[in-house]
Amino acid sequence: QVQLVESGGGSVQAGGSLRLSCAASGFTSRNYCMGWFRQAPGKEREAVASKYAGSINTWYAGSVKGRFTMSLDNAKNTLHLQMNDLKPEDTGMYYCAADVTALTCLNRFSDGYTYRGQGTQVTVSS
């Protein structure tokens, strides 16, 4: 059984930093897609960062490029999202998501995903 458990959310002032973590268990697919998306009240889901097996680069949304960095600790099966220079518009519930097909990443989670964590709230005040 696949489980994704996020941690690391919180409240910070604009310009601050947070590091989100997603501990994955039971996920052994070689054809993986893993990443993060966020959702704010009244807004659509927005993919933030993702990477699929076989890709060289990590994809980032334009709104976070240069400020967010996603990394995968294979030894600990943990996905991280380092978020720097946070802005009020970064506020939202952040979810770690995974799938067994690269297509999910290529579609930026817009067509859904197979696995998702419970989410962690990020609140950035101005």
pLDDT tens digits for the chain (126 residues)?
899 999 999 999 999 999 999 999 988 777 789 999 999 989 999 999 999 988 889 999 999 999 999 999 988 899 999 999 999 999 999 999 999 999 999 999 988 899 999 999 999 999
* Residue 101, CB-side half-sphere exposure with 13 Å CA sphere: 10
Task: Give me the pLDDT at residue 29, please.
Answer: 75
Torsion of CA 22, 120, 18, 16, to 10 degrees: 160
Task: Give me the pLDDT at residue 6, please.
Answer: 95
Task: Give me the pLDDT at residue 33, please.
Answer: 94
Task: Give me the pLDDT at residue 8, please.
Answer: 97
Instruction: Output the CA–CA distances (angstroms, integers) from residue 47 to 87, 91, 105, in the order listed.
Output: 16, 14, 9
Would you state the structure tokens that stand for residue 27, as one six-digit string?
A: 């996920």
Task: Give me the pLDDT at residue 31, please.
Answer: 77
* Residue 115, CB-side half-sphere exposure with 13 Å CA sphere: 23
Handedness of CA 89, 64, 19, 50 (dihedral sign): positive
Residue type, 30: R
Task: Give me the pLDDT at residue 65, please.
Answer: 98
Task: Give me the pLDDT at residue 40, please.
Answer: 93
Query: What is the C-alpha to C-alpha distance for residues 55 and 103, in angstroms, rounded to an integer?
Result: 12
Which element (helix H / strand E) includes 51? Answer: strand 46-52
